[in-house]
Structure 1
């Protein structure tokens, strides 16, 4: 999950920003994504994610929100910004592979290096992030469990 947050925190641009800013280069697009996340510009960051990433995150966030009884937000754009405080200054970005439709970057921030996949779309390069595979219930304790925990009681057993 930490790598996902790091990738999201590091990785974005809004429709208006994407039109006016250079997304014809994978490295420049990634830097723009990071800038938008750090500025807490959710719309711009969201538009810099690949369409498949936006689709996966929308579904995942909605499932987790429903599973939490509404305790978790259902707006995927705001979930992306949830990791913004984790965004560290970029130290280095290296394009290690670039093909016609995909590129792989090695991104170093805060002394850690992660691979970031970029995909080319009709609008330019976009950040591709894999959604976590944990089941929605693992995202947060159910409201009853959270209340029991807060009261110092044993949480109720999960219903099956």
Structure 2
């Protein structure tokens, strides 16, 4: 058996084993260990077993948002009404972390029926302005019988803030 002779070989071996090669690379190159990334959880209003959002370093990950009113009750009605209510919740959650739609870098949209795409897209365009993130759209049966759910990720790093450019 041949021993690994360099940090590069050790990193490759650890990467293959899933042992955190990025931290090992940092240690190999600097002689220091990496500081753990600060994680902040934004808890929801309900007793559901997930956070409304989680900030890990400069990234903010929102759980899928559905059309709920201030009391946490599902909003029924047109896809336009449901889309606006869902985007309101996203906007509210982004504000908790000091962000807005201009910080969103990725959105995943779930529609109960792909036939709702045009009506959904009209409201989505109006609300996001010209700050379109990368986006995926999936047709799915959604919890609570709603027609739309949106999950977003945002970049909230101060040095890369859209407001700074």
Higher relative contact order (CA 8 A, sep 6+): 1
TM-score (norm 2): 0.26
